[in-house]
Structure 1
Amino acid sequence: MTAAKPRARSGGRGRPSKAKGLDLKETILDSAEGLFARHGFYGVTTRQVATEAGVDTALIHYYFGAKRELFDAVFLRRAEILNQARLASMDAYDKAHAGAMTVEGVIESFIDPLLRISQEGGQGWKSYFVLVAQVNNTPAWGGETMTRFFDPVVHRLVETLKLVRPEADHRDLYWSYQFLTGSMMLALSETGRIDSLSKGVCHSSDLEAVRARLFAYCAAGFEAVIARATVA
């Protein structure tokens, strides 16, 4: 006796058609993304994802494998888009300001694509940025995940900043990036913390307010760390 093929709950049997399969995969990824963003990796089961997506649990294993492979597929889907957008932005800044780049300009070219995508991309992107912030702060395997998906574009940022400030020690540049990524991901997570802290004067969803301040804040930190090391 052969095992039945996994099927969607719509009632269709057998292997999904290519077009239908793509739709189902996107539906599963969207559902998993939202659940992982709300509850974290350990707080979500594949059964919950299946229920949210309206498919059999077997279909998730058919397309993605175990939960970790599903999580990686969720992470990869938008990581590729982010990396391409940031590299294109940095390329454009480099070309437009050849020989006259600034630390703040480089940082803006690195971060601004994320702010723009968050503003224009819909709820899926909001969930994704929350998810990235969670992974970035997960000691057990977060660092390994961030390394696999984002290291090349981060190294590009660090090496470009080294061109702008050749006197900077690489250790200071990497530490400064560590502080930048924390600020960047907290802002993109839109947690509402600043809303309550400021008693409504500031709103975490106001990404234009973030844009007006974050680049200068991060650049000043880089410059201060570099200057301190130079004096020492």
Structure 2
Amino acid sequence: MTQPDPPARRSRKADQRAETIEQILDAAEELFSKHGLHGVTLKDVARQVGVHHTLLNYYFADKKALFDAVFSRRAVVTNERRMAALDDYERLAGDAPTVEGALRAFLDTDLDTYIEGGEGWRNYAKLGAQVANTPEWGADLMDEHFDPVVLRLIALLRRALPDCPEERIFWGYHFVTGSLMLTLARTGRIDKLSGGRCRSDDFAAVKEVMATFMAAGFHAICG
């Protein structure tokens, strides 16, 4: 009698496990993006997936472990894309990088990810905006995942603005990231203020003007 192939059986089990984890992460990401870390329970996530909440305890030690897994999953991707874009831009720019060129590599690449990635990525964008504005624990997550790519951008801006006081470059980045986080939050406020002329979910429109606007600000405070 032929025995089942153990490696194949293990592979199917591993695939099922990976699929279940992705479903859990997707559901948790959507809920966390709407209600935040403290507004969601493991039972809420389990209900969204359609499983018993004990299954979540099998894969994740607690809610914070699940939240960290949700956050890190896409952080790796967006960091790799932005780092590659900054590297490519630096090679193309050679000895003459510009502020807007560096900002477009950093900002446009990130916005393209949310434009092309569907609702899951947009949920992550909203979640990232929450984390960035939660000093009690969010700052540590931002430091852990995003410092290398941010400092890579700062290094390029230094080259583009060699005579600019260093603190002005950091302030400029502070204003850039504040604008980006407000955009990613999709609060709908700009929709109401503009009478519908601008939409908070129109990342393509933001991409068209944000880097140019921010570059002018850098030149103004560094001039």
Same fold at TM > 0.5? yes
- In the alignment, structure 1 residue 66 sits paired with structure 2 residue 62: yes
* Aligned pairs for 1:113-124 within 5 A: 113-124=109-120
Contact 2:75 2:145 in 1 (8 A): yes
Point out where structure 2 has 5 or more consecutive residues left out of the alignment: 1-11
Say whether the 8 Å CA contact 2:115–2:204 is kept in structure 1.
Answer: no
Deviations 1:172-197 (A, max 9, x none): 22221111111012122322211110
Per the TM alignment, residue 128 of structure 1 is displaced from its structure 2 partner at its CA by 0.2
Match of 2:172 in 1: 176
Query: Which ranges of 4 or more aligned residues in structure 1 deviate by more than 6 Å?
Result: none
Q: Distance in 2 between matches of 1:18 and 1:119?
A: 31
Partner residue of 1:94 out of 90, 96, 108? 90
Q: TM-score, normalised by structure 2?
A: 0.91
Corresponding residue number in structure 2 for 1:81: 77
Partner of 1:225: 221
Would you say 1:22 and 2:1 are equivalent positions? no
Name 1:37's counterpart in structure 2.
33
Between 1:36-45 and 1:158-167, the stretch displaced more is 158-167
Bigger share in helix: 2
Question: 1:146 aligns to what?
Answer: 142
Please report how far the alpha carbon of residue 82 of structure 1 lies from its aligned counterpart in structure 2 after TM superposition: 0.2
One-letter code aligned to 1:143: A
Q: TM-score, normalised by structure 1?
A: 0.88
CA apart distance, 1:122? 0.6
The alpha-carbon deviation at position 90 of structure 1 amounts to 0.7
C-alpha contact 1:37 1:128 (8 A) present in aligned 2: yes
How many residues end up aligned between the 2 structures?
212
AA of the residue aligned to 2:126? V
- Alignment correspondent of 2:154: 158
Task: Give 5+ residue unaligned stretches, structure 1.
Answer: 1-15, 228-232
SS at the partner of 2:37?
coil
CA distance in 2, matches of 1:196, 1:131: 22
One-letter identity of the residue aligned with 2:84 = A
Asked if the contact 1:126–1:189 (Cα under 8 Å) also holds between the matched residues in 2, the reply is no
Residue of structure 2 in register with 1:230 after alignment: none
Counterpart-to-counterpart distance in 1, 2:217 and 2:55: 48
Match of residue 130, structure 2, among 115, 134, 153: 134
Report SS of the residue matched to 1:17.
helix
Residue 42 (structure 2) aligns with: 46
Q: Which amino acid aligns with 1:210?
A: V
Alpha-carbon shift at residue 59 of structure 1 (Å): 1.7
For 1:141 and 1:81, locate their aligned partners in 2 and report how far apart those are by CA, in whole Å: 22
Aligned-residue Cα RMSD (Å) equals 1.3
Distance in 2 (alpha carbons) for counterparts of 1:86 and 1:102: 17
Partner SS, residue 55 of structure 1: coil
Q: Any conservation in 1 of the 2:36–2:130 contact (CA below 8 Å)?
A: yes
**Structure 1 CA distance, aligned partners of 2:199 and 2:43?**
35
CA distance in 1, matches of 2:189, 2:39: 22
* Distance of 1:128 and 1:137 partners within structure 2: 14
Q: Shift of the alpha carbon at 1:102?
A: 0.5
Q: 2:104 aligns with which of 85, 102, 108?
A: 108
